[in-house]
Amino acid sequence: MSAISGGLPAADTPIARKESVRTSLWALALRRLLQNKLAMAGGIVVALMFAICFIGPLFSPYTDNKIHMALMNKPPNWKHWLGTDALGRDVLTRVMQAGRISLTVGLASMVLSVFLGSLLGAIAGYYRGIADQIIMRIGDLLLTVPSLPLLFILGALLSEWKVPPEDRMYIVMLLLSFVNWPGIARMVRGEVLSLREREFMQAATVLGLSARRKLFRHLLPNLVPLLIVIASLNIGGAVLSESVLSFFGLGVMPPTPTWGNMIDAANNLIDFQQRPWLWIPPGFCIFATVIAVNLFGDGLRDVLDPKQKR
């Protein structure tokens, strides 16, 4: 904001000018993002979802997860807004606790796959040659193997290794990143291939900068907008994949609740037909989160990716 109000008089000194140009680029993006109503609505819903899931359980009187036989399978009522499950636990509290896990898994696997994908993609695109060949061939290989069976196999493998249930969420994060990085690496590599031919990179070479400095100080900052867009659009996919895996019993396992394994209640005919409060709320949470993340990510892309035409 300083670029608009206070930045002008000081613009004579070179440092101040540099500063104001830099902030105004991001400030411009932010201003355009704030004008995009759909994206802002998405952003607000995501923020609310995080807030509710992480803060909500603190206000719930039912967080102990104790079994209450008298409260089994009660439909929604004033004391339990979303009813109770077969063990008498409050469904609303469980949905919020599940949201913590699902959102964490989605976020963490996004960070990991974007890190892996951008690192490997940047190396492949920048150094070309043998590194490029190895990385991209492995990527092609992973993209050829259908991802759902691959996830199923890996999930089954992990079940056998007797990973304690509370650690399974970390494994699921690793799994999803393992399947997701090749696509990201491809995009980043393409971007790096075009960036490295630009004049500013030639200038960096002429100045005799080291390869590491060129890569980290000059190339990577230019990748940031692309990475932000990839990252935001990737979270939705990760939340969806986690829910599919957990629904089929190969992801995070009960008693750790996630939105996916809560919908598993629908595999029980009576719960499915007569107790929709057990499995419909987590499904709506997945849907709301993913649509909000996608809307926000799309808004970010409009703002940050100048090549994207509208």
Residues that bind other proteins (CB under 8 A): 38, 137, 140-141, 143-146, 148-150, 152-154, 156-157, 159-160, 236, 240, 243-244, 247, 263, 266, 272-273, 276, 279-280, 283, 286-287, 290-291, 293-295, 298, 309-310
Name the minimum Å distance from CB 221 to other proteins. Answer: 28
Give the residue with the Cβ less far from other proteins, 36 or 113.
36
Instruction: Report residue 77: phi and psi, to 5°.
Output: -150, -175
For 307, residues 6+ apart whose C-beta sits below 8 A from its C-beta are none
Name the minimum Å distance from CB 236 to other proteins. Answer: 6
Name the minimum Å distance from CB 159 to other proteins. Answer: 7
CB atoms within 10 A of CB 133: 11
CA atoms of 84 and 91, how far apart (whole Å): 5
Q: DSSP string covering 30-44, please?
A: HHHHHH-HHHHHHHH
Give the residue with the Cβ less far from other proteins, 13 or 273.
273
Give the residue with the Cβ less far from other proteins, 41 or 209.
41
Name the minimum Å distance from CB 17 to other proteins. Answer: 35
Give the residue with the Cβ less far from other proteins, 88 or 276.
276
Cα angle 211, 216, 220; round to 5: 120
Name the minimum Å distance from CB 7 to other proteins. Answer: 32
Name the minimum Å distance from CB 255 to other proteins. Answer: 21
Give the residue with the Cβ less far from other proteins, 62 or 296.
296
Name the minimum Å distance from CB 207 to other proteins. Answer: 32
Alpha helices per DSSP H over the chain: 14-35, 37-55, 91-127, 129-144, 147-160, 168-195, 199-206, 211-213, 220-247, 259-263, 269-274, 280-304
Say if residues 61 and 71 touch (Cβ distance below 8 Å): no
Give the residue with the Cβ less far from other proteins, 62 or 279.
279
| Burial bucket for residue 125 (CB in 10 Å: 0-12, 13-18, 19+) | buried
Cα angle 301, 305, 309; round to 5: 85
CA atoms of 267 and 244, how far apart (whole Å): 13
Give the residue with the Cβ less far from other proteins, 225 or 281.
281
Residue 75 DSSP label: P
